[in-house]
């Protein structure tokens, strides 16, 4: 079920307030719904390894892709998103300087779901020197000759860096499942492999944030039509996406199983209402800043004797 936070009172913009970064979350979190996927009962972990169905069941029909909390227009959130981008840049520099933490951001969505737009409008706050963006398309022949995580691991972030996955290892329990590219027993075993892989990363100092950009089938239709109407967007339209669209319900079931079986405190999923791009940007940027703030990072101490140096 949806975890929803109360949205009483005026928006921050209506009150003319843009909170200081360290105060932002106590204010903003009470003003738009939180879309963190609920975790299964940790006491059932042993049973879960034998019977995966015990984890919290997710029904995407309960999550409204049109939701925008108390915000009604893009202008209401513009200053908040800009403030988040500024804070992301500050925290990334701190992460790089300290060299103790890393961050992996996973973006998944249906076609035209807004992954590229999220990277452009939210992750644009990251310094490219400390950020790596990688898209995982159809595996190559060499990649298929290895285990499904072989092509993923080299792109995970070292300490001090951020990696952004535009699609990810989850394609191997989404597309592979729906298209029946491997036997059921093969893709079913991959949930445990993914959980173990992400736990390894988390134990190595990587903060993992996984975002599902949730759009409706009607919204996808509108976005496909805009791509056909605009010559500068023709390159983004692939007729094969229409075949995928006919399997919409199958993909929803596959995503629901991902959220139920691969969602943990060390690697949480967030189902982000994404029909309104500006609200998507607010939610994603706020969650990123909040996660980076929790790292409690500090600049390394200065070298001894700096106070006595004179530059001539």
As a whole number, mean pLDDT of residues 193-199 equals 97
As a whole number, mean pLDDT of residues 300-307 equals 86
Confidence at residue 277, expressed as pLDDT on a 0 to 100 scale: 96
As a whole number, mean pLDDT of residues 4-21 equals 35
Beta-ladder partners of 79: none
Nearest to 88 by CA among 123, 134, 38, 135: 123
Has residue 297 got a pLDDT over 60?
yes
Confidence at residue 279, expressed as pLDDT on a 0 to 100 scale: 94
As a whole number, mean pLDDT of residues 156-179 equals 97
| Alpha carbon distance 60, 217 (integer Å) | 12
The reply to whether 29 falls in a domain is: yes
As a whole number, mean pLDDT of residues 12-28 equals 38
Question: Which residues span the domain enclosing 124?
Answer: 24-297
The reply to whether 307 falls in a domain is: no
Has residue 39 got a pLDDT over 90?
no
pLDDT tens, residue by residue, 80-99: 999 999 999 999 999 999 99
The reply to whether 134 falls in a domain is: yes
As a whole number, mean pLDDT of residues 112-126 equals 94
Residue 256 is encoded by which pair of tokens? 């629901």
Confidence at residue 22, expressed as pLDDT on a 0 to 100 scale: 33
* Confidence band for 220, pLDDT divided at 50, 70 and 90: very high
Top-confidence residue, 30 or 255: 255
| Alpha carbon distance 132, 162 (integer Å) | 6
The reply to whether 97 falls in a domain is: yes
| Alpha carbon distance 178, 275 (integer Å) | 24
The reply to whether 3 falls in a domain is: no
Q: Which range among 24-33, 37-46, 177-186 shows the weakest confidence by mean pLDDT?
A: 24-33
The reply to whether 241 falls in a domain is: yes
> Tokens 């903003």 identify what position?
28
CATH number, domain containing residue 244: 3.40.50.300
| Alpha carbon distance 6, 109 (integer Å) | 27
Predicted TM-score of the model (pTM): 0.84
Count up the domains in the chain and report the number: 1
As a whole number, mean pLDDT of residues 98-106 equals 97
Confidence at residue 38, expressed as pLDDT on a 0 to 100 scale: 63
Has residue 151 got a pLDDT over 70?
yes
Has residue 201 got a pLDDT over 70?
yes
The reply to whether 12 falls in a domain is: no
The reply to whether 310 falls in a domain is: no
Confidence at residue 57, expressed as pLDDT on a 0 to 100 scale: 80
Nearest to 148 by CA among 171, 128, 125: 171
As a whole number, mean pLDDT of residues 152-177 equals 97
Confidence at residue 238, expressed as pLDDT on a 0 to 100 scale: 86
Confidence at residue 25, expressed as pLDDT on a 0 to 100 scale: 34
Has residue 306 got a pLDDT over 90?
no
Q: Give the helix ranges, DSSP H, for the chain.
A: 24-28, 45-50, 74-98, 115-121, 141-144, 175-178, 184-203, 217-229, 240-245, 248-261, 277-294
User: Taking a C-beta distance cutoff of 8 angstroms, is the pair 172, 256 a contact?
Assistant: no
Confidence at residue 304, expressed as pLDDT on a 0 to 100 scale: 86
User: Taking a C-beta distance cutoff of 8 angstroms, is the pair 237, 228 a contact?
Assistant: yes
What residues have CB less than 8 Å from 33, skipping those under 6 apart?
2, 3, 4, 5, 7, 67, 69, 273
Confidence at residue 125, expressed as pLDDT on a 0 to 100 scale: 87
Order the strands of the 102-109 sheet from edge to edge.
131-135, 162-166, 102-109, 206-214, 269-273
Has residue 218 got a pLDDT over 70?
yes
Mean pLDDT (the chain) is: 84
As a whole number, mean pLDDT of residues 63-73 equals 90
Confidence at residue 302, expressed as pLDDT on a 0 to 100 scale: 85
């Amino acid at each position: 079920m949806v975890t929803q936070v109360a949205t009483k009172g005026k928006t921050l913009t209506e009150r003319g307030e843009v909170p200081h970064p360290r105060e932002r979350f106590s204010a903003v979190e009470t003003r738009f719904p939180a879309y963190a996927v609920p975790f299964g009962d940790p006491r059932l972990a042993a049973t879960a390894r034998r019977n995966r169905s015990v984890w919290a069941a997710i029904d995407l029909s309960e999550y409204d892709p049109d939701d925008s909390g108390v915000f009604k227009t893009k202008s209401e959130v513009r200053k908040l998103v800009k403030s988040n981008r500024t804070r992301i840049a500050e925290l990334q520099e701190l992460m790089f300087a300290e060299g103790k933490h890393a961050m992996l951001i996973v973006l998944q969505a249906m076609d035209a779901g807004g992954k590229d737009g999220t990277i452009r409008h939210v992750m644009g706050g990251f310094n490219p020197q400390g950020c790596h963006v990688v898209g995982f398309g159809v595996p190559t022949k060499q990649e298929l000759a290895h285990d499904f995580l072989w092509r993923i691991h080299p792109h995970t972030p070292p300490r001090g860096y951020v990696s952004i996955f535009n699609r990810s290892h989850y394609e191997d329990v989404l597309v592979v499942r729906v298209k029946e590219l491997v036997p059921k027993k093969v893709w079913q075993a991959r949930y445990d492999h993914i959980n173990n892989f992400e736990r390894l990363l988390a134990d190595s100092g990587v903060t993992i944030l996984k975002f599902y950009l949730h759009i409706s089938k009607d919204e996808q239709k509108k976005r496909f039509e805009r791509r056909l109407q605009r010559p500068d967007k023709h390159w983004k339209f692939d007729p094969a996406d229409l075949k995928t669209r006919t399997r919409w319900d199958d993909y929803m079931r596959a995503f629901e199983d991902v959220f139920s079986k691969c969602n943990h405190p060390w690697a949480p999923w967030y189902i982000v209402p994404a029909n309104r791009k500006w609200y998507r940007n607010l939610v994603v940027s706020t969650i990123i800043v909040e996660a980076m703030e929790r790292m409690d990072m500090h600049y390394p101490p200065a070298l001894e004797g700096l106070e006595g140096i004179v530059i001539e």
